[in-house]
Amino acid sequence: MAASQAAYGVEKIIGNTDDATIRTDVTNYGQQGVGDQSGAKMKALTWQGKNSVKLVETEKPRIIEDRDVIVKVTGSTICGSDLHLYHGAIIEMTKGDILGHEFCGIVESVGPGAKDVKPGDRVVASFQIACGECHYCKLKLSSVCERTNANKIANVMYGGRTAGIFGYSHFTGGFAGGQAEYVRVPYGDVNLLKLPDDVPDEKGLYLSDVLCTSWHCVVDTGVNKGDVVAIWGGGPIGQMCAEFAFFNGASRVIVIDGGDGAWRLDWLKSKMPKLETVDFTKLPKGDSVTSQLKKLVDGGPDVCLECAAGEYAKGWAHYFETLLGFETDTSELLNEMITSVKSFGRIGVTGVYTGYTNHFNIGALMQTGIRLIGNGQAPVHKHWGHLLQLIREDKIHPLDMVSHRVKLEDMEKVYELFNKREKGFQKMFVQTKFSAPPCPGAPKVTDL
C-alpha cells in the first residue's frame, strides 16, 4: 500500500499532462466532492489497502460534464484483473477508491451533450473510457484513447498510455468503478452499448470486458483454421479464449493450469469435452510444461495464449525478485510459451503485465522466429457490436463461464474466495437492489 500511495503522491506533485478532455481522478464521488447534490447515498465496494476491500455507503454520482451519463447498476462482476489491485500490484491506488471495471445497468440521467442515449435505456459499459474522436478511437482502438488518461507516470513507463479505465487506479486515469449501485460514465454516448430485450444482463454484462478481451486475444494473435492452440490459465479469460479458438477453426486446444486452480481444468472439460488439459502440478518427474506439450503436439503448438498474468511467480527466484522489487512481473510463463510454441509460431499476451521482468529468454525468441504479440488492453469498441450479435444468434455462450450469482453486499467475502481460487468460483454475476431476477439458465443467488 505504501508504494501505491507513494506513486500517487509523486503523480500529484509532478501533475498530469494536458491531454485529457474530461475530468480525471474521480475515484470516489463523496471524497472528491462530486456527489449528488441532494445528498443521496449508495453502496459501493472500496479499496482499503493491500488484500483489503470494504463495502461502504458513499454519495452517489452526479453529472459533472456535458456528456456524462449516470447509470444505475443492475449487474457487475469480479475479474482476475481486480485481484492485481487487491494484491497491491497496480500502483496509484488510494484508500476509498471504488472498484470494478465491468458493469451493466439502466440509464438514470444524461448530460446535455450526450447523444443517442436516454433515461431508461438498458446498457453495458466498456471497461475503458474512450472519446470516440481521437486518432485511435477512429480506428476502433479504444483502449489507447488519447484523451481520457492524463497520467504522466504511465506515459514515462510505456511511452504512451492506456485509455482511462473504470475502477482501476489513478494510473489509468482515476475513475470510480462499477462494483457499486451507481456509476458516472464519461463520454456516455460513446462508452455505453444498448442491450436489446432478448439479451439479459447475465449475458450482456460480459461484453464489458471478458468477452471482448478473449475474442481480441484469439483474433489479434491470429488463430487460424487447423491451428493447435495452447492456453496458459483456465480462468474466465482462458475459458472463453478456448471457446473462441474452436469457434475460429482451431483443431485442438490445450489449457494449462494447476495448483489451487487445477479444478478449473475439469470445469472447462465439462463445458468443452474435446478440450485437452495439462496440470503443471502433476507432471511426471523430470517433465516440464514445454516437454509435455512437445509430446502432445509434434513440434509444439502453432499458437500460445497467455491468459494468466505476470504477477504469479512459480519458482523461488522470481518470487523473491518480485517481493524485493527487482522486477514487477515474472517471465516464467512467457519463457514456457517461447520454448513450447513451434518455430515461427505466435504468442499472444493478454494476461496483465505491469512493468519489468528478469531472465527473459529473448535469445530463443529471436533465434526461432517467434512472433510475440502484446494484445494490449482489448479495444472493446472494436468487438462488442459483433459479439453482441453472436450472443443474439446463440453462437457464443457467456453463461457457460458463470458459476455464481452473488450480492453486492457480499463482495468483501467474494474477493476472499476468488483470491483463494475457491473451488467452483469461476465467474460471478453481482446483483444490486436494481437487478432483475435471474434469466433462464443463469445461477440463482448464493448466500455467503
CA 76 from chain center: how many Å?
12
Domains, the chain, in order of start with CATH, read 1-209+379-431 (3.90.180.10), 212-374 (3.40.50.720)
Q: What pLDDT is attached to residue 91?
A: 80
Residue 309 pLDDT more than 50? yes
pTM across the whole model: 0.94
pLDDT tens digits along 112-156? 999 999 999 999 999 999 999 999 999 999 999 999 998 888 788
Contact 27, 174 (CB under 8 A): yes
Q: What pLDDT is attached to residue 8?
A: 46
pLDDT tens digits along 268-287? 999 999 999 999 999 999 99
Q: What pLDDT is attached to residue 12?
A: 53
* Percent of the chain clearing pLDDT 70 (strictly above): 96
DSSP E strands in 314-414: the ranges are: 346-349, 371-374, 404-407
Residue 1 pLDDT more than 50? no
Q: Which among 75, 73, 49 has a CA at the least distance from the CA of 60?
A: 73
Q: Three-state SS for 304?
A: strand
pLDDT tens digits along 23-71? 999 999 999 999 999 999 999 999 999 999 999 999 999 999 999 999 9
pLDDT tens digits along 421-432? 899 999 999 999
Contact 166, 24 (CB under 8 A): no
Contact 147, 19 (CB under 8 A): yes
Instruction: Give me 330's grid cell.
Output: 515474472
CB contact set of 305 (below 8 Å; sequence gap of 6+): 217, 218, 221, 229, 230, 231, 232, 238, 241, 245, 347, 348, 350
Residue 217 pLDDT more than 90? yes
Cα-based distances in Å from 176 to 128, 133, 340 = 12, 23, 40
Q: Three-state SS for 129?
A: strand
Phi, psi of 263 (to 5 degrees): -60, -25
**On the CB side of 320, how many CA atoms lie within 13 Å of its CA?**
2
Q: What pLDDT is attached to residue 362?
A: 96
